[in-house]
Amino acid sequence: MIRILNVVGARPNFMKVAPIQRLMAVDSNNFDPILIHTGQHYDERMSQFFFNDLGLPEPDVFLGVGSGSHAEQTARIMIEFEKVCLQYKPDLVLVVGDVNSTAACSLVAGKLWIPVAHVEAGLRSFDRKMPEELNRLVTDALSDFLFVTESSGEENLRREGIDDSKIYMVGNCMIDSLAGFLEKAEQSAIMQQLGIRDGEFVLVTLHRPSNVDEPEPFQRIFSALAEIQKHLPVIFPIHPRTRKNIAGFGLENDVKNLKNLHLTEPLGYLDFIKLQRHCKFVLTDSGGLQEESTWMGIPCLTVRENTERPVTVTLGTNEIVGTDSAKIIDAANRILSGNWKKGEIPPLWDGHAAERIVKIFKNKIKDEG
């Protein structure tokens, strides 16, 4: 039996860890999974929604590090996670994605000579101004098991000198959760609550500091939303920081005057998936939504200058539009006129990535047993 610390730090991590944690928990002959929540992004109401929606147990350990600068947050995670490692003496630390918790826990494990597994390894935007890119580079350099979601990840890791023996193409655990909970999400009443109909609204998420903390890019995106809402209702579950910045940028009255732009509180996983599946298109700066939209065949406009998930563009339904108002509006009009690529589901995005990961660990146990 191997003891594995499964680390989550922010909501996107929950969907990736949930299917792995679940499979390990039912295989008690081989695994002793310990769920660690660093508390990097923590809203009690929202975290509980996601844990309940995904069937995750209460975390075995909650570090409660909270927010702060990148340096403060990373340092607090490292200090607290080291204590957990010394207490539990794990055989392996499993991290997912690209948040500060991912890199911080990898660093701690590496310095304690504990093997690291990285789920969603090898993704690269090639933009080192993004903190997530630095987290990805650090984590992959320290990892012993690199679980890859798309072919670009394999290519990037080989280019960086990672040995093939550490690289495993397994598919996408976020899609495991999506496929597994899609039927349950269909029972959500969120569309009735918002008064919207299938295929007749746009779904928006914005959270990256480069988009919402600076007035110029935010106002460009907002101008595009003002035009789009003339054609369809725009549903915008809004991050608290984004709401605060709307006031700070002096846009509160402008928002109130847009009768078809609807700001809502952040939503739980099932409610959000219901909206995503039935919207006309998604406008986002989220990495995960690019993947989910591709799998569901929903057009996606990514308001960034790059993506670490290129398969969503080359095979999927995603297009990178940046923050230029005219470019966003042009892409939206093409979708509204039916002039959009259909896309296809990338290889191994079949809902069984977590099974492949757990099987790899079991084979490793047998080999060393």
Q: What are phi and psi of 231, to 5 degrees?
A: -105, -40
The residues, ordered by sequence, that sit 6+ positions from 98 with a Cβ below 8 Å of its Cβ are 120, 123, 132, 133, 135, 136, 139, 287, 308
Residue type, 155: E
Q: Which CATH architecture has domain 2-172+349-368?
A: 3-Layer(aba) Sandwich (3.40)
Q: Which pLDDT does position 42 carry in this prediction?
A: 60
Q: Which pLDDT does position 282 carry in this prediction?
A: 98
What is the reported pTM?
Answer: 0.95
Give the start-to-end residue ranges of the domains of the chain. Answer: 2-172+349-368, 186-336
Q: CA angle 45-48-51, nearest 5°? A: 150
Q: Which pLDDT does position 51 carry in this prediction?
A: 82
Q: How confident is the model at residue 292 (pLDDT cuts 50, 70, 90)?
A: very high
3-state helix, strand, coil in the chain (%, to 5): 50, 15, 35
Q: Which pLDDT does position 26 carry in this prediction?
A: 96
Q: How confident is the model at residue 32 (pLDDT cuts 50, 70, 90)?
A: very high
Q: Which pLDDT does position 163 carry in this prediction?
A: 97
Question: Which of 363, 349, 37, 332 lies closest to 46 in space, CA to CA?
Answer: 37
CA–CA distance, 154 with 149 (Å, rounded to integer):
9
The residues, ordered by sequence, that sit 6+ positions from 172 with a Cβ below 8 Å of its Cβ are 120, 149, 150, 291, 346, 348, 349, 353
CA–CA distance, 209 with 242 (Å, rounded to integer):
9
- Selecting among 37, 70, 207, 231, the annotated active-site residue is 207
pLDDT beyond 70 at 50: yes
Q: How confident is the model at residue 299 (pLDDT cuts 50, 70, 90)?
A: very high
**Catalytic residue list contains 207:** yes
Q: Which pLDDT does position 40 carry in this prediction?
A: 74
CA–CA distance, 242 with 347 (Å, rounded to integer):
35
Q: Which pLDDT does position 134 carry in this prediction?
A: 98
- Residue 210 or residue 6, greater confidence: 6
Q: CA angle 176-284-318, nearest 5°? A: 65
Least confidently predicted of 108-112, 114-118, 239-243, 246-250: 239-243
Determine the 3-state secondary structure of 76 from DSSP. helix
pLDDT beyond 80 at 226: yes
Q: Which class for 282: exposed (0-12), middle (13-18), buried (19 or more C-beta within 10 A)?
A: buried
Residue type, 183: E
Q: How confident is the model at residue 55 (pLDDT cuts 50, 70, 90)?
A: confident
CA–CA distance, 359 with 350 (Å, rounded to integer):
16
Other CB atoms within a 10 A radius of the CB of residue 349 amount to 24
Strand partners, 61: 36
pLDDT beyond 60 at 293: yes
Q: Quick check: do 2-172+349-368 and 186-336 share a fold?
A: yes
Tokens for 230?
């003339």
Q: How confident is the model at residue 12 (pLDDT cuts 50, 70, 90)?
A: confident
Domain 186-336 has CATH 3.40.50.880: no
Other CB atoms within a 10 A radius of the CB of residue 107 amount to 19
Q: How confident is the model at residue 46 (pLDDT cuts 50, 70, 90)?
A: low
For 71-75, what is the mean pLDDT? 95
pLDDT digits (tens, 9 = 90+) for 141-196: 999 999 999 999 999 999 999 999 999 999 999 999 999 999 999 999 999 999 99
Helices (H), the chain: 11-25, 44-54, 70-88, 100-111, 131-142, 151-159, 173-185, 190-194, 209-212, 215-228, 240-248, 252-257, 269-278, 287-296, 311-314, 325-336, 353-368
Q: How confident is the model at residue 44 (pLDDT cuts 50, 70, 90)?
A: low
Q: What are phi and psi of 193, to 5 degrees?
A: -65, -35
